[in-house]
């Protein structure tokens, strides 16, 4: 697994961005950028060269699910590994995310081991 890839983390809570960034650093992912909603994330993804997206769902104006749909509809980004980390834990949310093409789904609150396991899983298939 290439840990030199650029990772984009997306969350409207700055403390959560900081927590995920620090957990990624523990996993030796040091090239991490941040966005606080789907629109900002989409602009960064289109302008940059990222190998993984880790996104929250509940953000405004663009949610994580809507970001995921935009990513999958973009010819250059459509195969980008995309992990949703969210407090949205209803079955209908998970099904909607899967149908939209999510690579994996982590429910908050989560632990570092789960984050590590899901990243390894999606990067193997990348």
Which residues contact other proteins (rule: CB under 8 A)? 11, 13-16, 18-19, 22-23, 26, 38, 57-58, 62-67, 69, 87-96, 98, 104-112, 114
Please, what is the minimum distance in Å from the beta carbon of residue 74 to other proteins?
16
Q: Which is nearer to other proteins, 59 or 80 (CB)?
A: 59
Q: How far apart are CA 95 and CA 72, in angstroms?
A: 16
Contacts for 62 with CB less than 8 Å, ≥ 6 apart = 37, 38, 39, 41, 42, 70
Q: Which is nearer to other proteins, 49 or 56 (CB)?
A: 56
Burial category of 61 from C-beta neighbours within 10 Å (exposed 0-12, middle 13-18, buried 19 and up): exposed
Please, what is the minimum distance in Å from the beta carbon of residue 49 to other proteins?
25
Please, what is the minimum distance in Å from the beta carbon of residue 36 to other proteins?
13
Q: Are 95 and 74 a contacting pair, CB within 8 Å?
A: no
Q: Which is nearer to other proteins, 34 or 66 (CB)?
A: 66
């Amino acid at each position: 697994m290439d840990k030199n890839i650029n990772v984009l983390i997306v969350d409207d809570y700055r403390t959560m961005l900081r927590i995920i960034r620090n957990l990624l650093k523990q996993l030796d992912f040091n090239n991490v950028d941040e966005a606080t909603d789907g629109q900002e994330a989409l602009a960064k993804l289109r302008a940059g060269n990222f190998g993984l997206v880790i996104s929250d769902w509940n953000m405004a104006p663009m949610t994580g699910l809507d970001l995921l749909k935009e990513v999958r509809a973009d010819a250059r980004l459509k195969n980008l590994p995309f992990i949703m980390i969210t407090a949205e834990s209803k079955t209908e949310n998970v099904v909607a995310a899967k149908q939209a093409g999510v690579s994996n789904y982590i429910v908050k609150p989560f632990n570092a081991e789960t984050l590590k396991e899901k990243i390894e899983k999606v990067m193997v298939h990348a």
